[in-house]
Every structure is written in C-alpha cells, then in structure tokens.
Amino acid sequence: MSAAPPVIAIDGPTASGKGTIAERVAGSLGFHYLDSGALYRLLAWRALADGVRTDDGPALAAVASALEPRFRAGRVELDGVDVTDAIRREEIGRAASQVAVHPAVRQALLDLQRARRRPPGLVADGRDMGTVVFPDACLKVYLTASVAARAERRHKQLIEKGFPANIDLLSQELRARDQRDSERTASPLKPAEDAYQLDSSGLAIDEVVAQVLDWYARRDEG
Ligand code: C5P
C-alpha cells in the first residue's frame, strides 16, 4: 500500500497571513493547496443567498453536503458563478465564522477537505487542519500576528479588491471573530500540541515562507 501524500497544516487566526504563506509554500514544493476557510465562506455565501439562517445547523449541513465548488487558476466558482471576490467580503467572513460553529457543518465539510490530499502533497490552511482534518500532517504550523498587524493586512487586501474598509472597525471585527473561533466547542481555534508556533507580526512574507520550508526540510530530524 502506498503511503498517504504528505500534508503541511498551517493554522491560525483570521488575517494572520496563513493563506499567502500556504499558497507560496505549496507553489515552492509543487504541492496542492487547500484554503479551508474558502469552504466555510462558500457555505455562508450560499446560505445567505438562499435565505438559510446561520443558526440553523441541520439546514446548513444539508447545504454544505451539496456544495460543489470548482477551484481553478486561483478562482472559485459555485454553480457556474465566479464568487472569488464576493466571498472575501467582511460580512461573508463573519457569517462563515457563525456557520462554522455547528458540528454537523464541520462534519459535512470533512470529506471535501480530505479529498484534496493528493500526490505529491498538500498544504492546507485553516483553523483545525493540524488538530482535526489532518491530525497526521507531517508538519504543523500555527501562525499568529498582533491584532494591529492583522487589521492592517486585512485593510490592504480589502482596499485592493475595491471594498470599503476602516482599520478600527476591522480590529473590532477581528477580535470578535477570534473570540467566536476560540470559544466554540466544535474544533475551537487552538494550536495542535505538536505545532511550531510563529508570530509573523514583524516578519516579511519571504521570511515566513523560508522558515516553513526549513521546518519541512528538517521534519524528520529531532
Ligand atoms: O480563514 P478565513 O477567515 O477565510 O475563514 C473564515 C471563517 O471560517 C473563520 O473565521 C472560521 O470561523 C471558519 N473556519 C473554520 N475552520 C477552518 C477554516 C475556517 O472554522 N478550517
């Protein structure tokens, strides 16, 4: 039997830089990339479009089981509609963290996530990649950054996409989202016990990528 393809799990709070780092690490190793937050955002987008309430766990789980997103060349489509930019809106991020509290929703999205584990390997980013979805990941990284650094990054991202943004409101929103993600009982945001922790506040993207690649190269030492 051939061994399962290797997984690098990169978890951490919203706007900690996980997505950018994970994508670059995947590019550098020639691995596939899974943005698990996008799945929760897609579900939130679909639920809002269909008038499904974010506190209705069973109805949301049914929607989640039927999701068939198509990821292609950095874009994502749902039912033929390109929703790449729409799901990046702050209100969709907020709704994503509301739908993500339901255990049935998390269960319904498990297969979709695990199916992305293909040769030659996968870099997956999210909240519970190292703890729940890929507990056997060969490298687990928990990436953090100060609220100020994260609010600035999120502000830049939103402005670049042409969305309105305000740093103070974003900081409040990040704190509220951190609290909801860490206090929920289903897969709360917390580092895996065997995760390397890294605060990226004062680091350039290249430095963080280099550190993760170095940990990956040395994964069998020690
Ligand atoms: O990472 P991103 O901000 O896109 O994620 C949106 C929301 O989806 C998070 O605030 C979190 O509540 C939820 N999420 C999750 N588990 C994951 C990825 C995202 O609960 N693995």
If you average pLDDT over residues 78-98, what whole number do you get? 93
Terminal CA-to-CA distance of the chain, rounded, Å? 27
Domain assignment of residue 177, given as a range: 7-213
Q: What pLDDT is stored for residue 170 in this prediction?
A: 93
Nearest atom (ligand 1) to Cα of 181: 12
- b/e sequence 13-23, b meaning 16+ C-beta within 10 Å: bbbbbbbbbbb
pLDDT at residue 181 is higher than 90: no
Residue 58 lies in a domain: yes
Q: Which of the listed residues 35, 42, 97 should we mutate to test ligand 1's pocket, taking the one with most ligand atoms within 8 A of CB?
A: 97
- Residue 221 in domain: no
Calculate the alpha carbon distances from 77 to 38, 80, 86 in Å. Answer: 11, 6, 11
Indicate the number of domains in the chain.
1
pLDDT at 220: 82
- Residues having CB within 6 Å of any atom of ligand 1: 14, 36-37, 40-41, 93, 96-97, 100, 126-128, 177, 181
In this structure, is residue 222 part of a structural domain?
Answer: no
Nearest 5°: the CA angle 67, 19, 129 is 65
How much distance in Å is there from the Cα of 33 to the middle of ligand 1? 16
> CA nearest 60: which of 14, 94, 109, 93?
109
Does the residue 2 lie in any domain? no
Quick check: is 219 in a domain?
Answer: no
For residue 162, being part of any structural domain is answered with: yes
E strands within 59-181? 70-72, 75-78, 81-82, 122-126, 139-144
**Residue 178 pLDDT > 60:** yes
- For residue 187, the ligand 1 atom closest to its alpha carbon is 20
**pLDDT (tens digit per residue) in 119-168:** 999 999 999 999 999 999 999 999 999 999 999 999 998 899 898 889 99
Q: What is the pLDDT of residue 222?
A: 58
pLDDT-derived band of residue 2, with 50, 70 and 90 as boundaries? low
**What is the mean pLDDT of the segment spanning 192-210?**
95
Q: Whose CA is nearest to atom 3 of ligand 1?
A: 14
- Quick: pLDDT tens for 21-41: 999 999 999 999 999 999 999
What percent of the chain shows pLDDT beyond 70? Answer: 99
> Does any domain span residue 171?
yes
- Spatial distance between the Cα atoms of 94 and 111, rounded to a whole number of angstroms: 23
Exposure of 46 by Cβ count < 10 A (0-12 exposed, 13-18 middle, 19+ buried)? buried
CATH of the domain at 42: 3.40.50.300
187 within domain boundaries: yes
**What's the mean pLDDT in 95-123?**
96
